[in-house]
């Protein structure tokens, strides 16, 4: 029998347990099926046992309120002896690797934050970018052959059984097509979907707990954040989704020398297998090798910022997993460096409203116009409408002012975001789930910038781009183009206006509204219809002029 439990995927209960109607009520006040709940408790115990096994409590010495947790993690558990002889960074890496993809991705993010993570730990966590313990090559070859439905010898000249790289969700093997093209084959780890499902179910439970029991928990909107993350991680398990993202990113930059995206070989792509062009760039984290190759490091760092803002504001389609293991640099463009993007499984996108408000906020912050920042937060609904603008302005000034006129090496966006979040809590500012992935990507970009060129002035690099984007968005020509795109749909809908008026009359009559209100509504609709009919010839003429000018 199958039971559905909140956002948790369906679970089949063992037939020997006859409690299909049995329910446990958690103290968060929501009925939850017994069996999935037990699976989550088991996963919690696994996390605790792994943390205790690798003595991670020793990493909490600087947290004064974590004394009870340090004691708990110091208790002896099975396998703890195997952690002896490892340094603290190695123990943390092994623990995250053992716990699975979600924890590995957390370690990948930490590895780029050398401003907040000790160097020895960051160096070890960097191994999680592409050197996670692989699964057997023979198993990988079997999965490839099963997915492709043919013997590999009929499709490839050769396929390496030794992985080129191994990450949290999949590992990569080199191969050669029959036409001689060098490719890589990415194959999803077997059984990884079950581990991710358990972790996501646990995150849903923790989010409900925070929402119901922690003061101010609703403001965090963790349930929406976890829901969004569930969609992201589900797409990452489907390599056809990654292939589609890769193709789209390549189209977005097909006329740009800034970013190269490898070719996807669609004939060989399946949900758990992806075949794409092999590249021979330099990992962006190998700064010494980049310098030896003659790469202009300063220009490389500025190009990275430009690519990020282009993806966010021009394309609204940004690579959201930009840790160093996924970013390479071409050897062929020394003075004007070219990036190479890999692993497009996680892609972010913003609505036009969020895009515009974000750009306006960044412009206002860069120009130190804190009054405008406060007004934009109210206009966008990110803070309640009764928020005192002057008080919010003063708060933003206090947080942001110290960071200006500093190179990126002296600025921590992680600390800035944390301060902004703590301060905004006074004004009941809610977390915006649509921006969480962007914030995570921004932290990755900042980490890369710090490794490449700590003296980079982020403000001077980003401000001209944002100003140009704003000018283009507000230009008459751009608005005329938008008008031309929408005009056919408007013309098509024009004959339906009388029917819309009639439906409004019927609805108004069924609601028994006063006659005066009904007449006012009809007058408004008639006035709109007259303005529309008067505007159509002018719009058509403007569109014709635009088309003539463009040709």
Q: Which residues are catalytic?
A: 321
Determine the Cα–Cα distance for residues 444 and 321; give it in Å rounded to an integer. Answer: 8
DSSP string, 450-473: HHH-TT--HHHHHHHHHHHHHHHH
Under 8 Å between Cβ of 427 and 468: no
Helices of type H across 310-409: 352-366, 370-380, 389-400
| Distance (Å) of CA 142 to CA 24, 160, 273, 319 | 43, 12, 11, 31
Determine the Cα–Cα distance for residues 465 and 302; give it in Å rounded to an integer. Answer: 11
Under 8 Å between Cβ of 339 and 258: yes
Report which DSSP code applies to 280: -
Most distant CA pair in the chain: distance in Å?
A: 85
Under 8 Å between Cβ of 132 and 147: no
| Residue 310 three-state SS | helix
DSSP string, 64-103: GGGHHHHHHHTS--TTGGGGTT--HHHHHHHHHHHH-HHH
Q: The tokens 């031309």 sit on which residue?
A: 484
Under 8 Å between Cβ of 437 and 236: no
Percent helix, strand and coil across the chain, each rounded to 5? Answer: 60, 10, 25
Determine the Cα–Cα distance for residues 328 and 259; give it in Å rounded to an integer. Answer: 10
Q: Which residues pair with 341 in a beta bridge?
A: 327
């Amino acid at each position: 029998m199958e039971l559905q439990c909140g956002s948790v995927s369906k679970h089949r209960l063992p037939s020997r347990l006859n409690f299909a109607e049995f329910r446990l009520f958690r103290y968060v006040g929501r009925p939850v099926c017994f069996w999935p709940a037990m699976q989550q408790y088991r996963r919690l115990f696994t996390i605790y046992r792994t943390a205790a096994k690798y003595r991670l409590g020793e990493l909490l010495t600087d947290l004064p309120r974590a004394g009870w947790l340090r004691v708990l993690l110091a208790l002896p558990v099975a396998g703890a002896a195997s952690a002896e002889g490892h340094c603290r960074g190695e123990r943390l890496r092994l623990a995250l690797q053992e716990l699975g993809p979600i924890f590995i991705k957390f370690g990948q993010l930490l590895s780029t934050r050398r401003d907040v993570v000790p160097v020895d730990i960051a160096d070890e966590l960097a191994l999680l970018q592409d050197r996670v313990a692989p699964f057997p090559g023979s198993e990988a070859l079997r999965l490839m052959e099963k997915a492709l439905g043919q013997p590999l010898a009929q499709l490839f000249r050769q396929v390496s059984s030794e992985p080129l790289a191994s990450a949290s969700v999949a590992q990569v093997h080199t191969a050669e097509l029959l036409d001689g093209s060098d490719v890589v084959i990415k194959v999803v780890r077997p059984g990884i979907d079950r581990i991710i499902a358990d972790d996501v179910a646990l995150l849903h439970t923790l989010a409900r707990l925070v929402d119901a029991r922690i003061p101010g928990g609703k403001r965090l909107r963790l349930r929406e954040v976890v829901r969004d993350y569930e969609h992201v991680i589900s797409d990452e398990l489907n390599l056809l989704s990654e292939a589609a993202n890769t193709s789209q990113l390549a189209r977005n930059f097909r006329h740009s020398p800034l970013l190269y995206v490898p070719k996807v070989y669609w004939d060989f792509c399946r949900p758990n297998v992806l075949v794409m062009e092999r590249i021979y760039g330099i990992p962006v984290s190998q700064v010494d090798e980049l310098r030896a190759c003659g790469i202009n490091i300063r220009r490389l760092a500025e190009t990275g910022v430009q690519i990020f803002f282009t993806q966010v504001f021009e394309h609204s389609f940004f690579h959201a997993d930009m840790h160093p293991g996924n970013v390479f640099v071409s050897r062929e463009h020394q003075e004007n460096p070219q990036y190479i993007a890999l692993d497009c499984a996680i892609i972010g996108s913003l609505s036009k409203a969020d895009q515009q408000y974000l750009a306006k906020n960044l412009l206002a912050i860069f120009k130190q116009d804190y009054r405008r920042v406060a007004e934009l937060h109210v206009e966008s609904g990110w803070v309640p409408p009764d928020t005192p603008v002057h008080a919010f302005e003063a708060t933003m000034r206090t947080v942001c002012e110290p960071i200006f006129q500093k190179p990126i090496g002296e600025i921590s966006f992680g600390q800035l975001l944390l301060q902004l979040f703590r301060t905004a809590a006074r004004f009941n500012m809610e977390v915006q789930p649509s921006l969480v992935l962007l914030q995570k990507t921004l932290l990755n970009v900042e980490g890369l910038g710090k490794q490449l060129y700590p003296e980079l002035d982020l403000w001077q690099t980003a401000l001209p781009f944002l100003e140009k984007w704003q000018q283009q968005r507000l230009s008459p020509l751009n608005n005329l183009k938008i008008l031309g795109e929408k005009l056919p749909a408007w013309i098509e809908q024009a004959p339906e206006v009388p029917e819309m008026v009639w439906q409004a009359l019927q609805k108004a009559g069924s609601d028994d509204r006063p006659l005066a209100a009904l007449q006012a509504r009809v007058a408004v609709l008639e006035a709109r219809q007259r303005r529309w009919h008067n505007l159509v010839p002018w719009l058509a003429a403007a569109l014709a002029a635009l088309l003539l000018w463009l040709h």
